[in-house]
Amino acid sequence: MRILIIGGYGTVGGTATKALSERHEVIVAGRTRGDVQVDIADIDSIRAMYDAVPNLDAVVCAAGAVKWDTFDNLQQDDFYVGFRSKLMGQVNLVRVGQDRLNDGGSFTLTTGILGERPVPMTTSAAMVNGAIHSFVKAVTLEIRRNLRVNVVAPGLLEDSAPKLGKFFPGQTPVAMDKVGAAYASAVEGTMTGELIRVYE
Ligand X SMILES: NC(=O)c1ccc[n+]([C@@H]2O[C@H](COP(=O)([O-])OP(=O)(O)OC[C@H]3O[C@@H](n4cnc5c(N)ncnc54)[C@H](OP(=O)(O)O)[C@@H]3O)[C@@H](O)[C@H]2O)c1
Q: Interface residues with ligand X (CB under 6 A)?
A: 6-7, 9-13, 30-33, 38-41, 62-65, 85-86, 110, 112, 154, 156-157, 160
**Residue 64 Cβ vs ligand X, minimum distance, rounded to whole Å:** 4
Closest-by-Cβ residue to ligand X is 10
CB 25 within 8 A of CB 8: no
CB 9 within 8 A of CB 33: yes
CB 186 within 8 A of CB 147: no
Residue 189 to residue 148: CA distance in whole angstroms: 10
Task: Choose between 4 and 62: whose C-beta lies nearer to ligand X.
Answer: 62
Task: Choose between 106 and 129: whose C-beta lies nearer to ligand X.
Answer: 129
Nearest to 150 by CA among 190, 121, 120: 190
**Residue 104 Cβ vs ligand X, minimum distance, rounded to whole Å:** 25
**Residue 178 Cβ vs ligand X, minimum distance, rounded to whole Å:** 12
Task: Choose between 147 and 156: whose C-beta lies nearer to ligand X.
Answer: 156
CB 98 within 8 A of CB 143: yes
Task: Choose between 24 and 31: whose C-beta lies nearer to ligand X.
Answer: 31
**Residue 146 Cβ vs ligand X, minimum distance, rounded to whole Å:** 27
CB 157 within 8 A of CB 12: yes
